[in-house]
Structure 1
Amino acid sequence: MKWLALSALIAPSQAALRFGCSTLTIQRLDPLVEPGALPSAHLHQIVGGDAFNASMSGDIGEQGTCTTCTFSEDFSNYWTAVMFFKHPNGTYKRVPIMQNTALPNGINGGMTVYYTQQDFNSNGNVKITSFPPGFRMVVGNPTTTSLSGSRANVGLKFVCLENKGTRFPELSDFPTKPCRGGIMTVHHFPACWDGKNADSPDHQSHMYNTGKEAFQNAGPCPASHPVRMPQVAYETLWDTTQFNSMWPSGGANPFTLSYTDSKGYGTHADYLFGWKGDSLQRAMDHSCMFNACENGRPLKSQNVAAMNRCTIKKIVNEDTGDNWIKAMPGQTAAS
């Protein structure tokens, strides 16, 4: 990931958001790919607004009553697959999530969310258009089963952490050795929109990716997808360190995503827009940077305690891996 030191970021006209969201729920729910399914095929970690459920439609920004995110006007939902450790005896345990050091202390699990414009230095002198109500998209595909297929998604990466500040190197599959500081998953969404459709049958075709890597300067949008939108990205830090002593002899990777992907080729993420009113557009039109956008400058924000209080009820009643389990939720136990 091309990572620029914050000291190198100079105003004005930078307009980028970086904020934390605590965990809303960990359940088998997926209103984009499997709307209405109770349960969905595999387990997800979900953050954001409390309107989240198995079937979602309409303007989500007008439906929520609380959000797990820093900005209290953001009722969007952000979710990814969950990471598990597979013990040599064949049982599984869910890997806990750590807080990013760039965020305030006390956030319960969750992820770091970014809305950038072109890179970390500039808004690119291009008008950035907010997502419309009802907008949704997916990046990556759990059916990807090859390293070449994984590498084709340049914004989907793993980082073997030396510490929470590690950003290099980026990998297209799981690390092949124990990581001293844990594992970070990175999901960057495309930022060029066709200007017409809030969704598409595959939840991807209405968007086009001109990004190179992570937060590098993205290329211009093509005529087929001419509208530049914010570059949405997630970072999730998984505390794999407690399992390092159980790493199996022979070096085989013991971690798996929640749909039995032990390579990481099919890593993917989902986004459902839910900013209230014109709040995201106001932020993109502003010159604020990261936490300087909080406290009404121009976005309303909330403290960590309020973020952590926002939850939803458990709809799918099953053990999601707090304890050792014979199979990951929705998956068949090994014989």
Structure 2
Amino acid sequence: MTGDIGEQGTCTTCAYTEDFSNYWTAAMYFKHQNGSYKRVPIYPNAQLGYEGQDDTNIKGGMTIYYTQKDFNTSDLENYTTAFPPGFRMTVGNPTTDSLNGSKKGLAYTCLETILTRGFETQDFPTKPCPAGIMAIHHFPSCWDGKNLDSPDHQSHMFSTTKGGFRPAGPCPASHPVKMPQLAYETMWNTTAFADMWPTDGSQPFVWSYSDHKGYGTHADYVFGWKGDSLQRAMNNSCMFHYCGSPGMQGVLKTQTVQEMNACAVESTVTEEVDGWLDHLPGYEMEV
């Protein structure tokens, strides 16, 4: 899809009804000792507003952050520019296979509870996690002010993140436009596999592109907020639910969990991706 997605979309799975953006990360699989694979399900993050809080029917498992204050204190007064229509970017690289090549802002948290934060690692956790694994993607937030995209989908942006939600550095002259600090938290429910952990202690999780270490974690973003809705939020001092959430009115319009779940796109993939598989989808069977 190209152009102004916010004007083309007809429904959204997001809590905010004006957000038609595309958010993507790879699927996670568990590799059994017998060589078979099973897709790891995602589950909802803590507290989706008041009306949807603890709703067991929520289909999503990704929380998206747009923050305007992840910069040095001296830079907080500078205007935060919302992404323009047609904007897209990626973060991370699936070919990264070592800690040396990993980037700040891309990490994992072994969840003791759904509220565990911090204790981030750049590779997959090496032990069963009581509440699953949270994959974290912090995107760069400094724009060159010219290009909606670039050949590598990254050069038009510059990252000053220091990891986590710590204050990031100011934007450089080459990429002077301060944009929202975009971050994904994806909750992977690995708990069902805790009693299948390999007896040799090896780490059993793998990304769908055959990354067993986790260093190649990456994510894609295509902007699709309708009209000036995201800019309104960036101009406001609201935080979390006070920007608007199911059951609570704010600067942004919201919808119910039932309305979110009703939005779906038919799958165009004919290959089996769920159930126990003898190889990762898209790959030939290992011999």
TM range, smaller chain = over 0.9
Q: CA deviation at 1:111?
A: 0.4
Q: Could you tell me which residue of structure 1 aligns to residue 269 of structure 2?
A: 316
8 Å Cα contact 1:91/1:327 also seen in 2 = yes
2:254 alignment partner AA? S
2: CA distance, partners of 1:121 / 1:246 = 45
TM-score computed with the length of structure 1 as normaliser: 0.80
Task: Find out whether 1:132 has 2:84 as its counterpart.
Answer: yes
TM-score computed with the length of structure 2 as normaliser: 0.93
2: CA distance, partners of 1:121 / 1:178 = 37
| Corresponding residue to 2:136 among 170, 186, 196 | 186
Dislocated runs of 4+, deviation >3 Å: 119-123
Number of aligned pairs?
277
| Corresponding residue to 1:290 among 240, 244, 254 | 240
2: CA distance, partners of 1:84 / 1:224 = 39
Say if 1:107 and 1:200 are closer, same or farther in 2 by CA, change over 3 A. same
SS at match of 1:78: strand
Summarize the alignment of residues 318-333 of structure 1 with structure 2, pairs less than 5 Å apart.
318-321=271-274, 323-333=275-285
8 Å Cα contact 2:150/2:156 also seen in 1 = yes
Task: Find out whether 1:177 has 2:127 as its counterpart.
Answer: yes
| Corresponding residue to 2:63 among 112, 126, 150 | 112
Structure 1: gaps (5+ residues): 1-55
2: CA distance, partners of 1:176 / 1:114 = 27
Task: Find out whether 1:334 has 2:286 as its counterpart.
Answer: yes
Q: Could you tell me which residue of structure 2 aligns to residue 11 of structure 1?
A: none
| Corresponding residue to 2:153 among 193, 203, 224 | 203
Q: CA deviation at 1:121?
A: 11
| Corresponding residue to 2:109 among 159, 166, 176 | 159
235-244 vs 113-122, which deviates more? Answer: 113-122
2: CA distance, partners of 1:258 / 1:78 = 17
SS at match of 2:258: helix
1:217-237 Cα distance to aligned partner (Å, 9 max, x none): 111100000000000100011
Q: CA deviation at 1:296?
A: 5.3
2: CA distance, partners of 1:281 / 1:268 = 26
2: CA distance, partners of 1:279 / 1:170 = 32
| Corresponding residue to 2:210 among 260, 263, 281 | 260
CA-atom RMSD in angstroms: 1.5
2: CA distance, partners of 1:76 / 1:119 = 21
Q: Could you tell me which residue of structure 2 aligns to residue 82 of structure 1?
A: 27
2: CA distance, partners of 1:296 / 1:280 = 16
| Corresponding residue to 2:254 among 273, 276, 301 | 301
Q: Could you tell me which residue of structure 2 aligns to residue 57 of structure 1?
A: 2
1: CA distance, partners of 2:60 / 2:170 = 35
8 Å Cα contact 2:112/2:130 also seen in 1 = yes
Q: Could you tell me which residue of structure 2 aligns to residue 236 of structure 1?
A: 186
2:136 alignment partner AA? V
8 Å Cα contact 1:184/1:235 also seen in 2 = yes
Say if 1:304 and 1:120 are closer, same or farther in 2 by CA, change over 3 A. farther
Q: Could you tell me which residue of structure 2 aligns to residue 66 of structure 1?
A: 11
| Corresponding residue to 1:276 among 226, 239, 260 | 226
Q: CA deviation at 1:274?
A: 0.2
2: CA distance, partners of 1:203 / 1:184 = 24
1:66 alignment partner AA? C
Structure 2: gaps (5+ residues): none
SS at match of 1:234: strand
8 Å Cα contact 2:72/2:167 also seen in 1 = no
8 Å Cα contact 2:71/2:170 also seen in 1 = no
Q: Could you tell me which residue of structure 2 aligns to residue 247 of structure 1?
A: 197
Q: CA deviation at 1:91?
A: 0.6
2: CA distance, partners of 1:210 / 1:203 = 17
8 Å Cα contact 2:71/2:169 also seen in 1 = no
